């Protein structure tokens, strides 16, 4: 229940300049003890009168304190308060001694003189023209903070978001919000369109205003890119924006026209897929249009350059492979090796157990034996680490390979400063979206060979596009399909069943009565509540006891959906409670994190060098400095409390987010409630994430639906057309 306190601010115990988190002492009338107040309290200084709304809480170390949700500031009116206020260090150039002289000269009108008649300060000993200018600038600066925070809170913006807005825009925050509150959604992570729309309503922007329609259209395009689409069809876009905004179509059409004229979006007409006589219009966000067109053009340019031979005959190549790898390649692998060194761009694809890794090692050995400089990369840190381990050759993430500069906001490696390489090998290419592939291929020298390795049968990238599939479908790039399952791999039911699933056949389920240790199980259960309790039991007891796997580091629950009883949100809540007994807790925007939690980064943060899908563990929660420390594989990363919206719990993650990862054991619920997302490639992707154990749990009907559904949701992309 919200309460209100009013009193004089006695002192500030702690202040974080980044997020304005403050611990302060307030003298409340009628209370003999000073009250500890905490929260994001920008622009406050001792001597001010504060009115604070919020609630009481008990800190495990510091005891009872008042957590501020909103606040307002009044300047002190009495001489003692004014002297304390000015002597607090608020104004550069005024210390305690100068504050005493100022109040001694101007009494209760001291602040009024600083605000309206600052030249009069020259009457005070120790203040000359130079110091007067310093005082003027400092006074204006602190006034900016106070005015911005008061303005934003007056329009329903929380203290946390207010701090983010002030950090982004500084003293221009009020002007920016008044002119276009929707810019908050694009400029500040965590403030989406819906929050910006509420602020816009409070400052009086009409529901049918064109500026609102423009923001809504950009929001829909961004949501569609989250769904994997590179563009939207014009009518489809206007329908979705109309339902979201509840405004007339003619306003939306005007908004589209304005956005196109201003260069925010690109409109492109093309022939309809089903009716070639019909012209349809694609609407792109400018960045995605540039990426798709640029990727197609660069690929075609690269493919047009003649390939230089290795200067090695087939006999020598075979000797190199035998000497370096001590294995004999299959016929398919020899074709792959020949294709890789005789093509400017080539694709190697195939399911688990078909020898992709061995082929990559052979390609690497041959090119290095020919004196070529080879670079290896993958889209995620986990995939790059695994590639490095299996090849014995350094592999980097694509972002690190391209040397992202977070200060300038771009990759340092590009067509003007290309990679120093004769050969670039990209693993897990199915995960690479159109935007990242565009930047990668720009940095590949025209003299180099590009080899793309990946499993095209997996789910497409989390980001927009379907790059690997589009390149294969274009028939412009040489492709090697590895289909033969090697003998050792055939001993694993995980691999055998992955291929059965990919072909639309039901997986082979071992007889549970045999009592032998198998690596693939199906537990039949129709009731979602019982599925949830069984998953909990599997994670906490049955799998750790029987297979000696750690519940946190070895077992991963995957789910097709986020919502529902067995969606990732519900599963994470239940699994956190069961697997992490810690009472060291921090809450942020409705999420509860504990020390020891498994968490996942959900956006690319170049400054921290962590990326969407990276999984780590919370090692420490430091309330004194308002930070959470998360450990990722080989290093730790600090998060301010107001940056925790970049993290979610990761005891359960979506199948999409699991791409590029390997886990000891995978538990995958397959239920008819997931009907919309039941697709063959989703089950296949989930199964292929496991190294030692797969447990499917749910209904055979749901599994049969998924196996029959080999037509995954079509992504709106024109890369294939452009390459042709």
Q: Which residue has the higher pLDDT, 135 or 596?
A: 596
**pLDDT of 633 strictly over 90:** no
Distance CA 252, CA 245 (A): 10
- Taking only the tens place, the pLDDT of each residue in 472-524 is 999 999 999 999 988 777 888 999 999 999 999 999 988 765 556 789 999 99
Looking at every residue in the chain, the average pLDDT score rounds to: 88
Per-residue model confidence (pLDDT) at position 513 = 55
Q: What is the dihedral of CA 116, 122, 126, 130, to 10 degrees?
A: 80
CB burial readout 258-295, b (16+ within 10 A) else e:
bbeeeebbbeeeeeeeeeeeeeeebbbbeebbebbbbb
Indicate the range of 220-234, 429-443, 635-649 predicted with least confidence: 635-649
Please give the Cα distance from 587 to 162 (Å, whole number).
Answer: 18
Q: What is the mean pLDDT of residues 82-104?
A: 77
pLDDT at 71: 81
336-351 mean pLDDT? 94
Contact indicator for 153, 175 with CB cutoff of 8 Å: no
pLDDT of residue 586: 86
pLDDT of residue 239: 95
Q: Of residues 537 and 308, which shows the higher confidence score?
A: 537
Q: Tell me the pLDDT band of 275, cut-offs 50, 70 and 90.
A: low
At residue 700, does pLDDT exceed 60? yes
In the structure encoding, which two tokens stand for residue 143, read together? Answer: 């006034």
Say whether pLDDT at 583 is over 60: yes
Is residue 438 within 8 Å of residue 689, measured between CB atoms? no
- pLDDT value, residue 605: 85
**Helix%, strand%, coil% for the chain, nearest 5:** 45, 25, 35
Kindly report, residue by residue over 285-336, the tens digit of the pLDDT: 999 999 999 999 999 999 999 988 777 888 888 888 888 888 888 999 999 9
What's the pLDDT band for 274 if we cut at 50, 70, 90? low
* Phi, psi dihedrals of residue 700, rounded to the nearest 5°: -65, -30
Between β-strands 423-426 and 279-285, what pairing exists: parallel, antiparallel or unpaired?
unpaired
89: left (phi over 0), alpha (psi -120 to 50) or beta: left
In angstroms, the CA 248 to CA 436 distance is 37
Q: What is the CA radius of gyration of the chain?
A: 30
What pLDDT shows up at residue 515? 55
Distance of alpha carbon 628 from alpha carbon 499, whole angstroms: 42
Neighbours of 447 (CB within 10 A): 12
Residues 269 and 279 sit within 8 Å (Cβ to Cβ) = yes
Alpha-carbon distance of 679 to 707, in angstroms, equals 7
At 41 the pLDDT is 82
β-pair partners for 557: 652, 667
Report yes or no: 244 and 220 within 8 Å, Cβ to Cβ. yes
168 vs 252, higher pLDDT: 252
Q: Phi and psi at residue 704, in whole multiples of 5°?
A: -65, -40
Residue 597, pLDDT score: 96
DSSP 409: T
Task: Identify the band that residue 563 occupies on the pLDDT scale cut at 50, 70 and 90.
Answer: confident
Lowest mean pLDDT: which of 308-312, 380-384, 579-583, 707-711? Answer: 308-312
Mean pLDDT on 688-706 = 93
pLDDT of residue 11: 84
- Residue-wise pLDDT for 111-130, tens only, equals 888 888 888 888 888 888 88
Query: pLDDT per residue over 361-379, tens digit each?
Result: 999 999 999 999 999 999 9
Q: Which of 110, 45, 100 is nearest to 71 (CA)?
A: 45
How far apart CA 499 and CA 460 sit, in angstroms, is 18
**Would you call 392 helix, strand, or coil by DSSP?**
coil
User: How do strand 395-397 and strand 520-524 relate by DSSP bridges?
Assistant: unpaired
In the predicted structure, residue 634 carries a pLDDT above the cut 80: no
DSSP single-letter state for residue 605: B
Res. 95: pLDDT tops 80: no
Residue 623 CB-density burial (10 A; 0-12 exposed, 13-18 middle, 19+ buried): middle
Mean pLDDT for the stretch of residues 346-364: 94
pLDDT tens column, 664-687:
999 999 988 766 778 899 999 999
What percentage of the chain exceeds 70 in pLDDT?
94
- Given a cut of 80, whether residue 642 has pLDDT beyond it is no
The whole-number pLDDT of residue 268 equals 95
Distance (Å, whole) CA 688 – CA 691: 8
The reported pLDDT for the residue numbered 276 is 63
159 — pLDDT class (breaks 50, 70, 90): low
């Amino acid at each position: 229940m919200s309460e209100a306190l009013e009193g004089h601010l006695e002192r500030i115990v702690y202040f974080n300049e980044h997020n304005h988190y403050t611990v302060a002492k307030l003298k409340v009338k009628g209370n003999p003890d000073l009250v500890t107040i905490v929260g994001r309290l920008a622009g406050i200084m001792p001597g001010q009168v504060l009115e604070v709304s919020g609630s009481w809480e008990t800190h495990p170390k510091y005891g009872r304190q008042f957590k501020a949700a909103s606040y307002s500031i009044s300047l002190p009116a009495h001489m003692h308060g004014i002297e304390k206020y000015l002597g607090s260090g608020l104004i550069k150039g005024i210390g305690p001694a100068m504050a005493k002289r100022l109040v001694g000269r101007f009494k209760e009108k001291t602040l009024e003189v600083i605000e309206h008649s600052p030249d009069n300060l020259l009457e005070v000993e120790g203040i000359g023209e130079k110091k007067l200018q310093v005082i003027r600038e400092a006074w204006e600066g602190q006034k900016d903070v106070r005015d911005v925070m008061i303005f934003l809170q007056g329009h329903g913006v929380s203290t946390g978001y207010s701090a983010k807005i002030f950090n982004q825009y500084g003293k221009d925050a009020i002007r920016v919000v008044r002119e276009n509150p929707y810019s908050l959604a694009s400029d500040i992570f965590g403030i989406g369109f819906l929050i910006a729309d509420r602020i816009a309503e409070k400052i009086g922007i009409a529901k049918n205003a064109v500026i609102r329609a423009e923001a809504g259209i950009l929001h829909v395009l961004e949501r569609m890119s989250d769904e994997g689409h590179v563009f939207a069809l014009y009518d489809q876009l206007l329908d979705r924006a109309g339902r979201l905004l509840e405004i007339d179509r003619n306003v939306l059409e005007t908004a589209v026209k304005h956005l196109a004229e201003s260069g925010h979006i690109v409109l492109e007409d093309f022939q309809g897929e089903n009716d070639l006589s019909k012209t349809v219009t694609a609407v792109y966000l400018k960045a995605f249009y540039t990426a798709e067109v640029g990727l197609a053009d660069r690929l075609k340019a690269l493919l047009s350059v003649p390939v230089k031979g290795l200067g090695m005959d087939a006999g020598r190549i075979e000797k190199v492979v035998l000497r370096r790898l001590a294995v004999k390649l299959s016929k398919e692998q020899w074709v792959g090796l020949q294709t890789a060194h005789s093509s400017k761009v080539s694709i190697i694809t195939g399911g688990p157990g078909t020898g992709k890794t061995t082929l990559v090692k052979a390609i690497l050995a041959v090119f290095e034996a020919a004196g070529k400089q080879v670079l290896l990369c993958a889209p995620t840190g986990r995939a790059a680490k695994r590639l490095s381990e299996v090849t014995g050759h350094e592999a980097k993430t694509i972002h690190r390979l391209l040397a992202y500069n977070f200060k300038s906001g771009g990759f340092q490696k590009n067509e003007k400063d290309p990679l120093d390489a004769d050969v670039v090998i990209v693993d897990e290419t199915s995960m690479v979206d159109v935007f990242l592939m565009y930047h990668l291929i720009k940095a590949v020298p025209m003299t180099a060979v590009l080899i793309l390795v990946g499993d095209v049968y997996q789910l497409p990238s989390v980001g927009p596009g379907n790059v690997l599939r589009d390149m294969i479908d274009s028939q412009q790039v040489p492709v090697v399909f590895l289909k033969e399952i090697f003998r050792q791999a055939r001993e694993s039911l995980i691999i055998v069943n992955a291929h059965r699933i990919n072909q639309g056949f039901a997986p082979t389920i071992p007889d549970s009565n045999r009592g032998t240790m198998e690596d693939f199980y199906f537990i039949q259960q129709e009731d979602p509540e019982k599925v949830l309790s069984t998953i909990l039991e599997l994670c906490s007891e049955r799998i750790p006891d029987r297979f000696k796997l750690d519940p946190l580091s070895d077992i991963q629950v995957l789910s097709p959906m986020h919502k529902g009883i067995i969606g990732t949100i519900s599963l994470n809540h239940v699994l956190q409670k069961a697997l992490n007994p810690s009472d060291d807790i921090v809450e942020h925007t409705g999420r509860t994190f504990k020390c020891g939690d498994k968490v996942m980064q959900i956006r690319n943060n170049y400054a921290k060098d962590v990326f969407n899908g990276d999984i780590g563990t919370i090692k420490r929660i430091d309330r004194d400095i308002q930070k959470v420390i998360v450990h990722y594989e080989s290093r730790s990363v600090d998060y301010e409390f107001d940056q925790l919206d970049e993290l979610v719990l990761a005891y359960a993650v979506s199948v999409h987010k699991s791409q590029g990862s390997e886990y000891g054991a995978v538990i995958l619920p397959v239920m008819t409630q997931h009907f919309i997302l039941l697709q063959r490639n989703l089950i296949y992707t989930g199964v292929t994430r496991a190294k030692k154990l797969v447990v499917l749990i749910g209904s055979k009907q749901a599994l049969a639906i998924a196996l029959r559904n080999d037509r995954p949701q079509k992504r709106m992309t024109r890369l294939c057309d452009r390459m042709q």
